[in-house]
Amino acid sequence: MRTIQRQPSPDCIAQQPAGQDWGDFIGTPCHLSLTANLRQEQQGLCCYCESEVPSSEGHIEHLEPRRHNPARCYDYANLALS
């Protein structure tokens, strides 16, 4: 397993409205910026299997599921690319 050096989160993450549904966030400019940050941070590798994640693919994973702790939905430390 590789160690990931976390970068600062994109500023737009902290600006997401409280209680906003994740589905409404997907596809926004902030979602794209977040994906790019995570891809760079993880060197383009999946957080689970360390396989390369093609740029046209990938998914932002909540390490602690949203249903278990909705308050961490937009917590950058809880997000990873898979």
Q: Span 35-57, mean pLDDT?
A: 93
Reply yes or no on whether the pLDDT at 55 is more than 80. yes
pTM of the model: 0.89
pLDDT, tens digit, 9 for 90 and up, residues 26-45: 999 999 999 999 999 999 99
Secondary structure of 11-77 in HEC code, one letter for each residue? HHHHCCCCCCCHHHHCCCHHHHHHHHHHHHHCCCECCCCCCECCCCCCCEEECCCCCCCHHHCCCHH
Q: What burial class does residue 16 get, using C-beta atoms within 10 Å of its C-beta: 0-12 exposed, 13-18 middle, 19+ buried? A: middle
Domain residue extents for the chain: 14-81
> With contact defined as beta carbons under 8 Å apart, do 38 and 10 qualify?
no
pLDDT, tens digit, 9 for 90 and up, residues 6-28: 888 999 999 999 889 999 999 99
